[in-house]
Amino acid sequence: MKPNSTLLLDEFKNRLSTYTDDEIIRSFNREVEKTGWGTARAEFLSSLHYEFDRRDFDYSSIGNKECLSFKSYIQLDEVKRITTKNNK
């Protein structure tokens, strides 16, 4: 039997894989400036990071292969490059 965190990660990855690019960006933006932390949120954010990689987004303006910054709202341009913006 898989540990709960692995089950959460799988569930979030499966759900996010069905989202459009715009829905992925909106999901990220809903997490900006949140300070709460727990297993479920950690797994969700990890799944978002995985989706950025899977979709070949250029997210170098907010992170790298090891981490993402949730300090700024983002948008996606036509060449799948993520850029920051001032507000939602």
| Cα gap 77→79, rounded to integer Å | 6
pLDDT of amino acid 86: 75
Question: pLDDT averaged over consecutive 10-residue blocks of the chain (88 residues)?
Answer: 72 96 97 90 95 97 95 95 84
pLDDT of amino acid 4: 62
| Cα gap 38→61, rounded to integer Å | 25
Q: What is the SS3 assignment for 71?
A: coil
Q: Are 33 and 71 in contact (CB under 8 A)?
A: yes
pTM of the model as a whole = 0.88
| Cα gap 41→21, rounded to integer Å | 20
